[in-house]
Amino acid sequence: MKRVIYLFSILGVLSVACLSIAIVGGLLYSAARIDLGGVLSAFSLSWNPPQGEYGVIPMIFGTLSAAVLATIIAIPLSFGIIISIWASNCSFMRWILRFMTGIPTVVYSFCGLFILVPICRTLFVGSGYNILSVAAVLSILILPTMTIIADSALYPLLNKPETLRLTAESLGLNREKTLLHIALYIKRKWLLTGVLLSFSRALGDTIIALMISGNTPVMPDGLFSTMRTLSAHISLLTASEITPQIEFTMFLAGFLLFSAALAVSLLAKRLRGE
């Protein structure tokens, strides 16, 4: 059994190493094919290839804006669901959350495109393809992940007699008060881990941003502004459009997304004390 564990551990490390080498190698190779000015132009505020402008800063800002807003929306929703689960001891809600994690992302995108976008177009200014629409759909996407991690951390604490439940009951605390005043504090690092991993998923999602954001490579100026994310930027560039400069921006976008996901994972691992 140990040999199997070691084998899969080695395979996992090799996979991450190969992916890292491929991304960094492609980035360096494409950078070597253009001059220093071309490399520096990738960090400008404008994307207009016919005019020689290849800035990815608007895509970086759009990616962070949508992911941060989605996480902010999902946190209170997740908190409310956790309280609901423990107040009613509802296992059916847990089943719903696990079912939601298996729904293809394109289904969320489809619902957002034909339900949320028209609502935003009616209630607010603009076309409905904006940061708010993207963040709202992303929040539903990451909500099950955030809630399941929190529930998994709290379940042993609130149910095993030898940990907390009997002590809380002896003090006259019901399940809701035990959850709010004790359990959430004890498991705060795990709760923050769930938030970080959910943020990482929102950061790298492609199809939702591709279908709902409007895909305009400009610096967003508000919640109702169209935008483009880094992952959507990679997907939108076709083989016929790729030049050495554009190739560099694609690998740069991949490198930034990979680095962000790795940093979030390492931070979550550090918080859990592993």
- The answer to the question of residue 242 being in a domain is no
How does pLDDT run across 97-117, given as a tens digit for each residue?
A: 889 888 889 999 999 999 999
Determine the pLDDT at residue 91.
76
The Cα 136–Cα 147 span in angstroms is: 16
Domain range spanning residue 135?
Answer: 59-236
How does pLDDT run across 42-92, given as a tens digit for each residue?
A: 888 888 888 888 889 999 999 999 999 999 999 999 988 988 887 777 778
| φ/ψ of residue 214, rounded to 5 | 95, -20
- The answer to the question of residue 40 being in a domain is no
**Residue 54, beta-bridge partner list:** 47
Mean pLDDT calculated for residue range 252-262 = 89
Determine the pLDDT at residue 73.
95
Determine the pLDDT at residue 108.
92
Sign of CA dihedral 209, 210, 211, 213: positive
- The answer to the question of residue 169 being in a domain is yes
Answer for the pair 1, 9: CB distance below 8 angstroms, yes or no.
Answer: no
Percentage of the chain exceeding pLDDT 90? 25
**Which of 44, 49, 57 has its CA nearest to residue 253?**
57
How does pLDDT run across 190-236, given as a tens digit for each residue?
A: 888 889 999 999 998 889 999 998 888 888 888 888 999 999 888 88
Determine the pLDDT at residue 72.
95
How does pLDDT run across 139-180, given as a tens digit for each residue?
A: 999 999 999 988 888 877 766 656 666 777 777 777 777 777
Mean pLDDT calculated for residue range 109-137 = 90
pTM over 0.85: yes
Q: Is the pLDDT of residue 274 over 70?
A: no
Determine the pLDDT at residue 241.
67
Answer for the pair 224, 136: CB distance below 8 angstroms, yes or no.
Answer: no
How does pLDDT run across 186-202, given as a tens digit for each residue?
A: 888 888 888 999 999 99
Pull the structure tokens for residue 16: 């991450």
Percentage of the chain exceeding pLDDT 70? 94
Determine the pLDDT at residue 75.
94
- The answer to the question of residue 245 being in a domain is no
Q: What is the CATH number of the domain that holds 106?
A: 1.10.3720.10
Determine the pLDDT at residue 162.
61
**Which of 82, 201, 99 has its CA nearest to residue 141?**
201
The Cα 268–Cα 192 span in angstroms is: 8
Tally the domains of the chain: 1
Q: Is the pLDDT of residue 36 over 60?
A: yes
Determine the pLDDT at residue 143.
93
Cβ-Cβ contacts under 8 Å for 9 (sequence gap 6 or more): none
- The answer to the question of residue 105 being in a domain is yes
Determine the pLDDT at residue 65.
93
Determine the pLDDT at residue 58.
92
Question: What value, to the nearest 5°, has the Cα angle with vertex 48 and ends 47 and 53?
Answer: 75
- For residue 47, give the 3-state DSSP assignment: strand
The Cα 12–Cα 18 span in angstroms is: 10
| φ/ψ of residue 206, rounded to 5 | -110, -55
- The answer to the question of residue 260 being in a domain is no
- The answer to the question of residue 129 being in a domain is yes
Cβ-Cβ contacts under 8 Å for 11 (sequence gap 6 or more): none
- The answer to the question of residue 207 being in a domain is yes
